[in-house]
Amino acid sequence: SWQIQTAGLQWLWSVQLPLDEAAELWTLEVSNPGLRVRRISLYPCFTIGYMSWMNQGARHRAELGGIVARSITPYQRLQDYATVRTLKDCTVLLHERPPLAWECRQSQFEGEGGLHAPTALSLPRLAGGQADYETPIAVLQYGLTLAPGARDMLRFVFAPARDDREIAALRARLLGEAAFQRASVAVQTHLQAGRGVLQVSTPDADFDRFVNHWLARQVYYHGDVQRLSTDPQTRNFLQDAMGMSYLCPPRAREAFLLALSQQQASGAMPDGILLHPGATLKYINQVPHSDHCVWLPICLQAYLDESGDWALLDAPVTGTKDGATLTVRQRIDAALRWLLADRDQRQLSYIHQGDWCDPMNMVGPAGRGVSGWLSVALVHALRCWVNLCRQSGDADGIEAFERAAAQTAEAVQRHLWDGEWFARGITDDGISFGVSGDREGRIYLNPQSWALLADIATPAQRSSLLAAIEAQLQTPYGPQMLAPAYTAMREDIGRLTQKYPGSAENGSVYNHAAAFYLCSLYHIGEADRAWGVLRTMIPGPDVADLCQRGQLPVFIPNYYRGAWRQLPRTAGRSSQLFNTGTVSWVYRALIDGLFGLRGEPEGLSIAPQLPSHWPGARLQRLFRGAELAVEIRRRAAGQPSGVRVWLDGVEQAEARLRGLQPGQRYQVDVEIDA
């Protein structure tokens, strides 16, 4: 909603989306707080834009109660007609109250003034024009008289439709006070299901506002509507399900089972997950990527930590392609065996036409290039799976995975350590890249982060690569994905190098990669460094930072512009892209790392990693149906070190809680080192 005060009047312009309808429900409320009668002309204006070179137009339809813009989606092939004739090629603006006048032709409305000062508004009444193969617009005119203290309200529905019958049904179903109220209640109920499991109160009030309201909303959006795709990339689908593990575990469970049902007989995962029978793999999902299997145990670990649903591992999954029924455990075993088979003679993972980094598409098309990041991530995935199998009480056969993890880690050390950091990969022609000898793309963030997550880096290597990240990748807006950004095509790396320096994967502050780094820092206990990464993901709090980023702190974008040393003027600008796997990892980092309230088979482990300048924090944590009021505080200097925990006033023998009951409320007090 937008609240505006101007010319002595107050305006509230709000929109909501019905839960299961493709429509926008708009409400305009105007109030007169003054002491005199006000007479105003009001012009709700909805731009429609150019619709089709084949057929487009618009007119006011009194019998339907609104402006109807019609078009025909262009097509050439005869066989496409059957699809085109079913499309919702009308755009309608339905009004609850008939207007005094209207305009449907954009050029007539704008005149010489343009949209910022339309010529039509200088006339007493809109002309009532229609658009005949012209760019349409939907403008209505109302005359309102408001007594002192009075208010008035207008409602509109803006939506696509197929034909007149559908338009009439839309009006009957959605327009009116009762319909708007039903939609509002349904949406609020739906959003409440994704409210999250954390409410925090910390010394950083701006951070609290973001976490308590906005972050869970963004996580929920990804897991709820699948980025508005019918074939989400498998890695995205699994990581979005990881986020839903905290907000709505049953939905996460469904997602994992759906993904595994589309596993190939070889154990490989498809490049995209089809969400309905008519869906097909499109665009990027037609390009073979090497990494999709690696996300299964990594994302599943978060689900099992949070839900305690260990029965999932033995749930049967019937494949949609071959009809074979295997358990979840067997399918993850098969996925890992596929990854192990997809390595070269050095035991490094092939990259094919890309890994997590989609545009790294020319490193391995000949079948010889390898991904340094995926080789490291494979070690992490194997070790996650071995740990999960042990926790579930079924460790049969994991010795082979343990040996493979050690073997791959050794290969990473032998072939990818460049002296100060790990290389990003090796091309088809045997050229290492992401190494100190490169003029551009000298260092990549992901191999370093995942080497920490996978416990591959030695203590000396850890110090070295952290120093390299600080010196070469860190910016005021977060760590860059690589540096220096590429300024020319490298045909042995791919279209990544063709992207503008500092944009997207070419040296931006790519928040998904920054989130991996964040989790790796908490994994090794670097609390202050981790907080620095986390806080720079969120715009603000100072005005200069907000202006440079050009974004309010209501979501974490896909990336901020990078190439900070090369192009400082534009560095930090938000991509404004809302879809990102970042947020699931950030939510996980808050729970596992910052506040350290991580699930385990029998309960909750407690190991907060607050930044050193915080004296403490309070939070509400929902966990498996129990409600925990948690207060974390630093003890006075000179007292014994370590984490101490009290449950309802009783000190616990260790920093974990067992036997928590659904529906119960608990007070948890935590002391951490000064």
> What pLDDT score does 239 carry?
98
Order of strands across the sheet that contains 603-606? 597-600, 603-606, 656-658
Report the C-alpha gap between 517 and 447 in whole angstroms.
10
Q: Does the pTM exceed 0.75?
A: yes
Q: pLDDT for 52-97, tens place per residue?
A: 999 999 999 999 999 999 999 999 999 999 999 999 999 999 999 9
Report the C-alpha gap between 627 and 559 in whole angstroms.
35
pLDDT, mean of residues 613-621: 98
Transcribe 445-488 into DSSP letters.
HHHHHHHHHTT-S-HHHHHHHHHHHHHHTEETTEE-SEESPP-S
Per cent of the chain over pLDDT 90 is: 96
Q: State the DSSP H helix or E strand holding residue 318, giving kind and residue range, or none if neither.
A: strand 316-318
- For residue 379, the cross-strand partners are none
Q: How many residues does the chain have?
A: 674
- The yes-or-no verdict on residue 561 having pLDDT over 90 is yes
Cβ–Cβ under 8 Å, residues 427 and 339: no
Of residues 89, 342, 358, 592, which has the active-site annotation?
358
Tokens read off for 96: 């609850």
> What pLDDT score does 563 carry?
97
pLDDT category at 637 given cuts 50, 70, 90 is confident
pLDDT, mean of residues 209-227: 96
CATH number of 595-672: 2.60.420.10
Question: Residue 420: helix, strand or coil by DSSP?
Answer: coil
Q: Phi/psi class of residue 650: alpha, beta or left (left: φ > 0; alpha: ψ in -120 to 50)?
A: beta
Q: pLDDT for 499-541, tens place per residue?
A: 999 999 999 999 999 999 999 999 999 999 999 999 999 999 9
> What are the extents of the domains in the chain?
2-175, 595-672
Q: pLDDT for 316-345, tens place per residue?
A: 999 998 899 999 999 999 999 999 999 999
CATH number of 2-175: 2.70.98.40
> What pLDDT score does 393 carry?
84
Report the C-alpha gap between 222 and 215 in whole angstroms.
11
> What pLDDT score does 396 carry?
79
Lowest mean pLDDT across 275-284, 462-471, 493-502: 275-284
> What pLDDT score does 646 carry?
98
Tokens read off for 495: 């279209």
- The yes-or-no verdict on residue 638 having pLDDT over 80 is no
Cβ–Cβ under 8 Å, residues 110 and 82: no
Report the C-alpha gap between 117 and 109 in whole angstroms.
10
> What pLDDT score does 392 carry?
87
Cβ–Cβ under 8 Å, residues 162 and 87: yes
> What pLDDT score does 394 carry?
81
> What pLDDT score does 427 carry?
99
pLDDT category at 395 given cuts 50, 70, 90 is confident
pLDDT, mean of residues 646-665: 97
- The yes-or-no verdict on residue 251 having pLDDT over 90 is yes
> What pLDDT score does 374 carry?
99
Active site residue 455: no
Report the C-alpha gap between 236 and 342 in whole angstroms.
21
pLDDT, mean over the chain: 97
Q: State the DSSP H helix or E strand holding residue 633, giving kind and residue range, or none if neither.
A: strand 626-634
DSSP state of 19: T
Distances (CA, A) of 252 to 246, 248, 278, 283, 555: 9, 7, 23, 25, 22
